[in-house]
Amino acid sequence: MTRIAYGKLMRFLTARLSPGGELGLHLTAGVIMLVVAVAAFGEIADAVGEGDDIARYDEQVSQWFYAHAFEPLTTIMFGITHLHGIPAMSVLSALLGLWFWRRHAPYWLLATAICVPGGMLLNVLLKHVYQRARPAFDEPFVTLATYSFPSGHTAAATLFYGLLASYVVTTSASWRVRAAAVAGAAAMVALVALSRVYLGAHFVSDVLAAMAESLAWLTVCITSVSTLRRRRAARQEQ
């Protein structure tokens, strides 16, 4: 490698790893996250489509939860799942957008406007692509006519809480607050996913695929909006 080529490579790497750069560390991290999330979704989707061992495990886990369901846990799980349906998540997303607007955070308002609605449209599209049937039971807790893969409730929770955690991580200077936001978001997503599997609305692979799908879309939204903000800021400084 010539000295000129080495210099160009180092300048490229420095720019890609610059925390404040227009196309810096945020874009590099976003691309890595996107690749990992898409790869994870692809692996799960391939396993489900090919009927690998994951399908057998899915059925075993679903039957186990159905056989061990009890009150008041069932009522609690119904409450969690109802709070993360389309009506409730639409209201929560609107309130979050209103909060960003009142805090004069236009880029986060834009992220909210495209993240949850766009992610849910993607989820519906994927459901019709894979057309997986829901778990079947003699006396099901829920009866749904829509497709199972990937989980819509889990996708909505991942998008909403992921967006909220992203805001805290990028605006808070405290590592404890950042860690608490990420842990809280992960816990809420896991709780919603558990409620869907517990109630027999989804297989485990459905909720895992929804997490991967939503993380990919969330990454696209956050990275795109962040790049737009940095680009406009750079132009204003010129």
Catalytic residues: 153, 202
Sign, CA dihedral 40-184-220-151, equals positive
Euclidean distance between CA atoms 139 and 136, whole angstroms: 9
Rg from Cα positions in the chain: 20
Q: Token digits for 172?
A: 């808070």
3-state helix, strand and coil shares in percent for the chain, rounded to the nearest 5: 80, 0, 20
Peptide bond before residue 72 is cis, with ω within 30 degrees of 0: yes
For every residue of 1-27, DSSP letters joined together read --HHHHHHHHHHHHHHT-TTSTTSHHH
CB-CB neighbours of 153 under 10 Å: 27
Inter-helix orientation angle 152-171/86-102, to 10°:
20
Q: 89 in helix, strand or coil?
A: helix
What's the length of the chain?
238
